[in-house]
Amino acid sequence: MQPPPCRSDWAVFLDLDGTLLEIAETPAQVRIPARVLAALQNLRSELHGALAIVSGRSIAIIDGLLAPVQLPIAGVHGAERRDASGRLHAASASPELAHVRRALTDFVAKHPRLLLEDKNSALAVHFRRAPELERAVRAAAADALGGAGEFLQVQEGKMVLEIKPRHASKGEAIARYMLEAPFAGRIPAFVGDDVTDEAGFDMVNRLGGHSIKVGSGESSHARWRLPDVGRVLDWLESCSQRARNE
């Protein structure tokens, strides 16, 4: 069921890839349509700043993609976060990640169609160009993680496996934003497309907000659905219009 247009008293949190942007063969190949930037600028204005990106990508990469628009961002699944005042909150990279990095670098070097994305506090192995290697990637990630499971965990995504800090989640990032201006006291809404977004859906459900899944088929804790990126942009534009007219 399609969500209602958001109101001026909502706080909106948006995933990036697969939600605002079509997924590309590699993370570096995504492009930002002008329509996306306009929708973000308009909605930020109508919500008086209560708009944030919550993504698996790093803050630095997201800033580059969205320039010149700059928003509050929770990156690397919440392991790093920039609040609305511009202050950065970042967890130190786990010492155990150094061993994981070496192991996965050696593994990926043997398979040229795999891509290792180093996010400093997390590592992602993309196998979109080699889906037949999924089982091997899973085994390599498990072996690399070894006994570091107290500090790190494997996060599944669409054609990607990521090893990230265990404490970091999109849900926790949203909860922290909701304690701060201009998000505090508003009704949260989170839009995402992947299993990595389920923690965010769970959190906004607990906070009495609106959880919105992009795509169909997979089971989800989200209470609303939008079929694809194009409809997400339609919805964001309708949100700006609704908030403007209140």
pLDDT tens for 163-190 read 998 888 999 999 999 999 999 999 999 9
Q: Are 80 and 121 in the same domain? A: no
Q: What is the pLDDT of residue 163?
A: 93
Residue 209 pLDDT exceeds 90: yes
The count of domains in the chain is 2
Q: What percentage of the chain reaches a pLDDT higher than 90? A: 76
Q: Are 83 and 45 in the same domain? A: yes
Beta strands in 83-179 (DSSP E): 88-90, 115-118, 123-126, 152-157, 160-165
Q: Are 45 and 83 in the same domain? A: yes
Residue 30 pLDDT exceeds 70: yes
**CATH code assigned at 102:** 3.30.70.1020
Residue 181 lies in a domain: yes
7: exposed, middle or buried (Cβ count in 10 Å: 0-12, 13-18, 19+): middle
165, 187, 206 — which closes off a domain?
A: 165
**CATH code assigned at 214:** 3.40.50.1000
Work out the pLDDT band at 73, boundaries 50, 70, 90. Answer: very high
Cα–Cα distance between 32 and 66 in angstroms, integer? 7
Q: What is the pLDDT of residue 1?
A: 80
Q: How far is CA 231 from CA 10, 36, 108, 198, in A?
A: 19, 12, 36, 20
Q: What is the pLDDT of residue 150?
A: 77
Q: Are 85 and 196 in the same domain? A: yes
Q: What is the average per-residue pLDDT within 105-111?
A: 96
Work out the pLDDT band at 24, boundaries 50, 70, 90. Answer: confident
Q: Is 63 marked active-site?
A: no
Q: Are 205 and 157 in the same domain? A: no
Q: What is the pLDDT of residue 243?
A: 67
165, 185, 203 — which closes off a domain?
A: 165
Residue 3 lies in a domain: no
| Averaged pLDDT score across all residues of the chain | 92
Q: What percentage of the chain reaches a pLDDT higher than 70? A: 98
Question: Count of H helices and E strands in the chain?
Answer: 7, 12
Residue 153 lies in a domain: yes
Residue 242 pLDDT exceeds 80: no
Residue 157 lies in a domain: yes
Give me the catalytic one of 9, 15, 106, 143: 15
Q: At 49, is the secondary structure helix, strand, or coil?
A: coil
Contact assessment for residue 222 and residue 211, using Cβ atoms and an 8 Å cutoff? yes
Q: Are 155 and 177 in the same domain? A: no
Q: Are 28 and 75 in the same domain? A: yes
Q: What is the pLDDT of residue 116?
A: 96
List the end-to-end C-alpha distance of the chain, in Å, as a whole number.
24
Domain that holds residue 146: 97-165
Q: Are 42 and 72 in the same domain? A: yes
Place of tokens 């993609």: 65
Q: What is the average per-residue pLDDT within 146-158?
A: 84
Q: What is the average per-residue pLDDT within 84-89?
A: 95
Residue 138 lies in a domain: yes
Residue 5 lies in a domain: no
Q: Are 182 and 151 in the same domain? A: no
144, 165, 186 — which closes off a domain?
A: 165
Q: Are 43 and 58 in the same domain? A: yes
